[in-house]
Amino acid sequence: MQAAIHPKYDEINVKCACGNEFVTRSTLKQELLKIDLCSQCHPFFTGTQKIVDSTGRVERFNQKYGAIDLSKLAKKRR
């Protein structure tokens, strides 16, 4: 690595709005980074994520393609 061209990569504290705190490394010049979501409170990681389907798109897709056996399609292409 060339000297004096790379930013400093130091440890910083991260504090989430849910109260979770952890230490990571970053090129930010701050000691504390405040965030709104982390892996402890994000719906995707906690398993509380819900699919909002107001027009029935998911149901129509499952009706149309849900019953198709993909292994049969793969055999036909060979």
Answer yes or no: is 34 within a domain.
yes
68 or 21, which is more confident: 21
Which residues are CB-neighbours of 35 under 8 A, at least 6 positions away? 14, 15, 16, 17
Give the separation between CA 36 and CA 64, rounded to whole angstroms: 39
Cα-Cα-Cα-Cα dihedral sign, residues 21, 23, 28, 29: positive
**Contact (CB, 8 A) for 39 and 22:** no
On whether residue 66 sits in a domain, the answer given is yes
Encode pLDDT of 14-58 as tens digits: 999 889 999 999 999 999 999 888 888 887 777 777 767 667 787
Q: Give yes or no for residue 72 having a pLDDT over 90.
A: no
Predicted TM-score (pTM) of the model is 0.53
Q: How many domains does the chain have?
A: 1
pLDDT at residue 4, rounded to an integer: 86
Q: Is residue 29 part of a domain?
A: yes
pLDDT at 73 over 80: no
Identify the domain containing residue 47 by its residue range: 10-72
Q: Specify if 3 maps to a domain.
A: no
User: For position 40, which CATH number holds?
Assistant: 4.10.80.400
Distance between CA atoms of residues 46 and 18, nearest Å: 13
